[in-house]
């Protein structure tokens, strides 16, 4: 009976994922800030330094997950804010499409950057 | 005969004249009485009331009218409005009925917050007291707003008791545990006043949003154990549409303004959790 | 009902003085959210200077990436923007934690107090991080 309606219509999986990514992002963002401002100083960032960090598989995978989670959480938040303000109908579909494309581009470019910084691949 | 004719014409002239002088006499009398009331009261309070009437030339542009009312201890905003209407301006229009906070007719925007007129003590408010119609709804006249949209949202959640199956015996009751009753108790108190919906920014922005009152009603029935699991699933399906529970951003304004102290946000959150729990099972 | 007067949704924001904690929390969470999304796109754009870096240049810190980032970090305005970013991110995280509790149905009766607590904590964390963030530039 539940397969009756596509879960896409119901809007609950996006709400749920927003919370799941939120929990992950709390830790990831805090870690990122501490690593890059307190442990390493932002003023001393160099390609060599970044490369050293990103060549460690644990850190690399954390950063990639961080990128994907952050992209989803942020763009989903923007989408919800717009729907709350009354975005509806055809406009909503168009904006939704644009946002999905923007997210994919962001993640794509982010992955390119990550690969450029690592010696793993 | 001639005297009769004379008398007749005299009689014809008199009514128009005396009607005007009657009116003048009455308004003077009324003014005197108002002055007596004001003088004998311990203090007077100024009301600033929103006026608007699309059918009267002078009132097509909204404005605020001031009324000075005599204050007595225990006076409510509704009492003050009735005084203003009865003594000053009988065209002042507002909804009211029970005057004891059960009918939900007199939800107003008083000094910047949604309140029930009959439940708000004048003595608790800062003066002058600003009285406006509920925000985010179309104003029909003076303090009366169009409640149709609110009723549409309420009806959309099927706000009536509708069990899956009836008990076996003909005279058998439908049992409910005291714990279950406790769970839905607060949600049964809704008087359909519309204060909550008018305080919600999402309801203001998104016209399709069901609104706190409707979702609370859905909660009241979905959580009632007498209705059965199938009925509950159907009810949840209505509120878990995109413009249902998910639009709530936990602004808490609805909970703040509810005159019946219903924890609306809490109930909406509970339905969100119910929906997730139900849907996770099928993954 | 012949005609009616639509006062619109905009009048809410004119009443900002009457806003309660929950309303402020929602507005600030949205605002900080938009800022963070905007920053995320900008951040990836800036980091893109790492693509196609010449290893030789990298060894002497003369590559595009290092030069861009160190150059930016050298600007005082950028340091202040970073502090702003910290404030925005910390508030969004702390209020986000508050919202997660609300979603779980915990602590709803202290929801306004928890908003004020997140504001205060945000201020404390920002202030205590000032020396680190401005260090090296002053």
| Percentage of residues of chain A with pLDDT beyond 70 | 91
Nearest-CA residue of chain B relative to A4? Answer: B237
- For chain C, what is the domain count? 1
Per-residue pLDDT at A78 exceeds 70: yes
B190: Cα within 13 Å, side-chain hemisphere: 26
- C5 SS3 class: strand
Residue at C45 is within a domain? no
Supply C8's token pair: 């619109």
Query: What is the average pLDDT score of chain C?
Result: 86
Residue at C102 is within a domain? yes
Q: From chain C, pick out residues whose CB is under 8 angstroms from the CB of B52.
A: 5
Residue at C7 is within a domain? no
In the structure, what pLDDT confidence band is assigned to residue A100 with cuts at 50, 70 and 90?
Answer: very high
- Is A88 within 8 Å of B242 when comparing Cβ atoms? no
To probe the interface with B, which of C13, C14, C16, C22 has the most B CB atoms within 10 Å? C22
Note the pLDDT tens digit of each residue in A20-34. Answer: 999 999 999 999 999
- Give the model's pLDDT for residue C7: 66
Nearest-CA residue of chain A relative to C67? Answer: A46
Establish if C19 touches chain A: CB-CB under 8 angstroms. no
Residue at C88 is within a domain? yes
In the structure, what pLDDT confidence band is assigned to residue C56 with cuts at 50, 70 and 90?
Answer: confident
- Is C47 within 8 Å of A113 when comparing Cβ atoms? yes
Complex prediction ipTM: 0.88
- Give the model's pLDDT for residue B61: 87
Q: From chain B, pick out residues whose CB is under 8 angstroms from the CB of A16.
A: 276
To probe the interface with A, which of C27, C38, C47 has the most A CB atoms within 10 Å? C47
- Is C12 within 8 Å of B138 when comparing Cβ atoms? no
Residue at C125 is within a domain? yes
Query: Cβ distance B136 to C9 under 8 Å?
Result: yes
- Give the model's pLDDT for residue B3: 52
- Is C37 within 8 Å of A74 when comparing Cβ atoms? yes
- Give the model's pLDDT for residue C91: 96
- Is B279 within 8 Å of A3 when comparing Cβ atoms? no
Nearest-CA residue of chain B relative to C6? Answer: B138
B230: Cα within 13 Å, side-chain hemisphere: 5
Contacts (Cβ under 8 Å, ≥6 apart) of C40: A70, A71, A74, A106
In the structure, what pLDDT confidence band is assigned to residue A67 with cuts at 50, 70 and 90?
Answer: very high
- Is C33 within 8 Å of A77 when comparing Cβ atoms? yes
> pLDDT averaged over consecutive 10-residue blocks of chain B (283 residues)?
49 56 79 86 91 86 91 94 92 94 94 93 93 91 93 94 84 90 96 94 90 96 91 91 91 94 95 87 60
Nearest-CA residue of chain B relative to C1? Answer: B140
- Give the model's pLDDT for residue A7: 41
Q: Name chain A's partners: 3 or more CB pairs within 8 A.
A: B, C
CA distances from A102 to A109, A110, C38 (A): 11, 12, 12
- Give the model's pLDDT for residue C18: 77
Residue at C50 is within a domain? no
- Rounded to a whole number of angstroms, the distance from the CA of B147 to the nearest CA of chain A is 20
Residue at C105 is within a domain? yes
Residue at C41 is within a domain? no
- Is A26 within 8 Å of C53 when comparing Cβ atoms? no
Q: From chain A, pick out residues whose CB is under 8 angstroms from the CB of C40.
A: 70-71, 74, 106
Looking at per-residue confidence, does B136 or A105 come out higher? A105
- Is A12 within 8 Å of B206 when comparing Cβ atoms? no
- Give the model's pLDDT for residue A5: 41
Of C3, C14, C9, whose CA–CA distance to B139 is shortest?
A: C3
- Give the model's pLDDT for residue C9: 56
Of B252, B218, B251, B247, whose CA–CA distance to B235 is shortest?
A: B218
- Rounded to a whole number of angstroms, the distance from the CA of A31 to the nearest CA of chain B is 27
Ranked by mean pLDDT, the top range of A6-10, B241-245, C8-12 is B241-245
Average pLDDT over residues C6-34: 81
- Give the model's pLDDT for residue B194: 95
Average pLDDT over residues A70-93: 92
Lowest mean pLDDT among A106-110, B68-72, C55-59: C55-59
Q: How far apart are CA B153 and CA B168, in angstroms?
A: 35
Establish if B277 touches chain C: CB-CB under 8 angstroms. no
* Three-state secondary structure of chain B: CHHHHHHHHHHHHHHHHHHHHHHHHHHHHHHHHHHHHHHHCCEEEEEEEEECCCCCHHHCCCEEEEEEEEECCCCEHHHHHHHHHHHHCCCCCCCCCCCCCCCCCCEEEECCEEEEHHHCEHHHCCCCEEEECCCCCCEEECCEECCHHHHHHHHHCCCCCCCCCCCCCCCCCCCCCHHHHHHHHHHHHCCCCCHHHHHCHHHHHCCCCCCHHHHHHHHHHHCCHHHCHHHHHHHHHHHCCCCCHHHCCCCCHHHHHCCCCCCHHHHHHHHHHHHHHHHHCCC
- Is C108 within 8 Å of B251 when comparing Cβ atoms? no
Q: Model pTM?
A: 0.86
Establish if C81 touches chain A: CB-CB under 8 angstroms. no
CA distances from B269 to B161, B216, C118 (A): 22, 10, 21
- Rounded to a whole number of angstroms, the distance from the CA of C42 to the nearest CA of chain B is 27
Q: From chain C, pick out residues whose CB is under 8 angstroms from the CB of B136.
A: 7, 9, 12
Nearest-CA residue of chain C relative to A116? Answer: C51
Out of C34, C47, C93, the one facing A26 most closely (by C-beta) is C93
Can you give the residue range of the structural domain that contains C89? Answer: 78-138
CA distances from B45 to B75, B81, B124 (A): 11, 11, 12
- Give the model's pLDDT for residue C59: 82
Q: Name chain C's partners: 3 or more CB pairs within 8 A.
A: A, B
Bridge partners (DSSP) of residue B129 are B47
- Is C26 within 8 Å of B201 when comparing Cβ atoms? yes
- Is C65 within 8 Å of A43 when comparing Cβ atoms? no
């Amino acid at each position: 009976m539940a397969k009756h309606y596509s879960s896409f219509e119901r809007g609950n999986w996006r709400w749920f994922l927003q919370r799941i990514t939120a929990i992950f992002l709390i830790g990831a963002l805090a870690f990122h800030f501490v690593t890059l401002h307190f442990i390493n100083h932002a003023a001393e960032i160099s390609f060599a330094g970044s490369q050293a960090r990103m060549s460690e598989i644990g850190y690399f995978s954390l950063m990639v997950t961080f990128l994907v989670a952050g992209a989803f959480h942020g763009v989903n938040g923007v989408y919800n804010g717009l729907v709350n303000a009354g975005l509806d109908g055809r406009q909503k579909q168009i904006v939704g499409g644009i946002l999905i494309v923007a997210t994919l581009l962001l993640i794509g470019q982010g992955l390119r950057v990550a690969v450029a910084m690592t010696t793993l691949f | 005969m001639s005297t009769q004719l004379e008398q007749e014409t005299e009689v014809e002239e008199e009514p128009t004249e005396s009607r005007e002088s009657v009116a003048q006499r009455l308004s003077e009398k009324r003014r005197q009485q108002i002055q007596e009331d004001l003088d004998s009261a311990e203090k007077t309070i100024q009301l600033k009331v929103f006026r608007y009437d699309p059918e009267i030339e002078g009132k097509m542009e909204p404005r605020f009218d001031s009324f000075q009312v005599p204050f007595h201890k225990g006076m409510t905003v509704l009492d003050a409005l009735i005084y203003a209407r009865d003594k000053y301006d009988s065209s002042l229009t507002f909804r009211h009925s029970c005057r004891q906070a059960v009918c939900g007719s007199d939800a107003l925007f008083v000094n910047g917050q949604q309140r029930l007129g009959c439940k708000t003590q004048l003595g608790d408010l800062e003066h002058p007291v600003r009285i406006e119609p509920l925000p985010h709804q179309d104003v029909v006249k003076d303090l009366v707003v169009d409640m149709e949209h609110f009723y549409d949202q309420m009806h959309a959640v099927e706000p009536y008791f509708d069990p899956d199956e009836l008990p076996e015996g003909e005279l058998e009751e439908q049992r409910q545990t005291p714990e279950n009753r406790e769970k839905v108790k607060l949600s049964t108190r809704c008087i359909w006043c519309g204060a909550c919906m008018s305080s919600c920014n999402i309801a203001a922005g998104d016209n399709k949003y069901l609104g706190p009152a409707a979702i609370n009603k859905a909660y009241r029935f979905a959580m009632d154990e007498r209705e059965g699991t199938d009925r509950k699933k159907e009810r949840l399906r209505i509120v878990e549409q995109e413009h249902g529970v998910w639009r709530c951003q936990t602004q808490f304004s609805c909970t703040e303004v509810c005159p019946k102290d219903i924890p609306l946000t809490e109930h909406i959150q509970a339905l969100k959790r119910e929906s997730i729990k139900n849907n996770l099972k099928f993954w | 009902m012949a005609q009616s007067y639509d006062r619109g949704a905009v009048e809410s924001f004119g009443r900002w003085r009457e806003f309660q904690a929950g309303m402020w929390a929602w507005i600030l969470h949205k605002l900080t959210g938009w800022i963070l999304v905007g920053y995320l796109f900008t951040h990836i754009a800036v980091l893109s200077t790492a693509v196609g870096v010449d290893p030789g240049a990298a060894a002497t810190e003369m590559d595009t990436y290092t030069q861009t980032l160190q150059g930016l970090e050298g600007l005082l305005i950028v340091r202040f923007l970073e502090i702003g970013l910290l404030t925005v991110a910390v508030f969004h995280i702390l209020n986000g934690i508050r919202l997660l509790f609300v979603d779980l149905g915990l602590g709803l009766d202290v929801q306004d107090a928890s908003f004020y607590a997140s504001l205060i904590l945000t201020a404390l964390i920002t202030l205590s991080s000032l020396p680190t963030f401005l260090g090296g530039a002053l």
